[in-house]
Amino acid sequence: MISSSPDHWDRSFSSTPSGDHTSRGWYQSSAAPSWLMIGDLDPSTSAVDIGAGASVWVDEALDRGWSDLTVLDWSPVALDLSQARLGARAASVTWVEVDVLTWTPPRTFGLWHDRAVLHFLLEDDDRARYGQVLRAATAPGSVVVIGGFGPSGPEMCAGLPVRRQSVADFEALFGTEFTIERTFEQSHVRPDKNTQDYLWVRALRNG
């Protein structure tokens, strides 16, 4: 079985039939579902984008006046794509090339944002480690926004198996330390016009 790794994602971002990563199924031209869940958080909030890939979320955050941004991914190819796209604006972002499961956050953030990382964690131990990193990177009052394949979502993505999410799965991940404030079901339209069902949650770290 193919496993998730930096090399796998480097190939996914650089080796497509058209030579363009924007043709891949996960691509979205706008991070609107994320902003729907982030809502009216103040742009002065510190934010970390987990497993960002080459997402345009960071572009839109800068456009919206966010200034304390950290972008994390383990694929150098993906991070290079984002930095090249941003040009001079990339200098205002903190870039972290690391596996989130091995990351030791150097600080806490007011917003933890993850689109489509959690569903690649198949094993309970990996999900538990994800939860540990999440707790280390947040503080009371921090907001967590996570989007992953929902109960009717696909079973594979980018050639890898995924673990579909339910609200109960998120409740188990968060435990008593977070309160789920909102959920949202999204039908993501892929570049090939097929759809994938996502489940989004917004949670608050309890005081």
Q: What is the pLDDT of residues 42-57, one digit of tens each?
A: 999 999 999 998 899 9
Which two three-digit tokens encode residue 194?
Answer: 């097929």
Task: Kindly report, residue by residue over 18-28, the tens digit of the pLDDT.
Answer: 345 554 445 57
Which residues are within 8 A (CB) of 18 and not within 5 positions of it... i.e. 6 or more apart?
A: none
Per the rule left: phi > 0, alpha: psi between -120 and 50, beta: everything else, 54 is alpha
- The stretch 171-190 carries a mean pLDDT of 91
- pLDDT score at 20: 57
pLDDT band at residue 156, thresholds of 50, 70 and 90? confident
- pLDDT score at 16: 46
- The stretch 160-177 carries a mean pLDDT of 94
- pLDDT score at 13: 57
- pLDDT score at 15: 53
Look over the chain and give the mean of its residue pLDDT values, rounded to a whole number: 87
Say which residue the tokens 């953030």 belong to: 109
- pLDDT score at 28: 77
pLDDT band at residue 17, thresholds of 50, 70 and 90? very low
Task: Kindly report, residue by residue over 72-125, the tens digit of the pLDDT.
Answer: 998 998 899 999 999 999 999 999 999 999 999 999 999 999 998 998 899 999
Q: What gap in Å lies between CA 140 and CA 178, rounded to an integer?
A: 9
Helix axes 124-136, 167-174, angle to 10 degrees: 60
